[in-house]
Amino acid sequence: MSKVICIMGESGSGKTTAMRNLPPDKTIYIDCDGKGLSWKGWRSQYNKENKNYIVSDEPDTVLGSLVFINKDPKYKHIKYVVVDTLNGIMIGDEMRRVKEKGYDKWADLAQSVFDIVNSSNKYRDDLTIIFLAHSQTDRDDNGYLFTRIKTSGRKLDKICLESKLTTVLLAKAKGDGKYVLETHSNNSTAKTPLGAFETDEIENDVMLVIKALEEY
């Protein structure tokens, strides 16, 4: 069973930057937003020549890549796959079908993202899948604020993507150049396995998350 981590957050909260310490020789980066990465020197680490950088928001391409990396012996050295972002897949798929009408369109859009997330823990044991996602914060009638993964359409809202994941962290910009990952729920769907983290916030580095989850 593969390990799955999701990091959600607003634009500029440090989601992509949290990937900076992943080893490029053991990582494949799927850039669904097509915006590139966010640290100096990333182009020499992730590129087509190194065969570790894919730019696509096509759900079939993303799911197919995960399946291929999992099965093909040529990629047995790959230990981490980043999908940045789930929202890039949602929006890309929605825009390609913008002229379509009817319920079936939204069911298909929800199904494509659900399949990617739902299958993510079914790969080889030594593989870690890292999803990045935008967040949205809603205010109810009583003024209560709650943050969750941003989705397209009510179908995915009903499914609740977080319910398919055991580790969801919330990226936050604290000001003064400080970025953190929230490990436990604080008016959000952030959650981690019991005992994995002693503090509610950790440094913005996915390798710290991976290390803490090794025993799980």
Q: What is the pLDDT of residue 99?
A: 79
Q: What is the pLDDT of residue 176?
A: 83
Architecture category of domain 3-213 in CATH = 3-Layer(aba) Sandwich (3.40)
| pTM of the shown model | 0.93
Q: What is the pLDDT of residue 38?
A: 94
Beta carbons of 26 and 212 less than 8 angstroms apart: no
Sequence ranges of the domains in the chain = 3-213
Beta carbons of 66 and 58 less than 8 angstroms apart: no
Q: What is the pLDDT of residue 7?
A: 98
Burial of 58 (0-12, 13-18, 19+ CB in 10 A): middle
Q: What are phi and psi of 164, to 5 degrees?
A: -90, 0
* pLDDT values of the chain reduced to their tens digit, one per residue, 216 residues: 999 999 999 999 999 999 999 999 999 999 999 999 999 999 999 999 999 999 999 999 999 999 999 999 999 999 999 999 999 999 998 888 777 777 666 677 788 899 999 999 999 999 999 999 999 998 877 778 899 999 876 656 667 889 999 999 999 998 888 999 999 988 999 999 999 999 999 999 999 999 999 876
Query: pLDDT digits over 153-194, tens only?
Result: 665 666 788 999 999 999 999 888 899 999 998 899 999 999
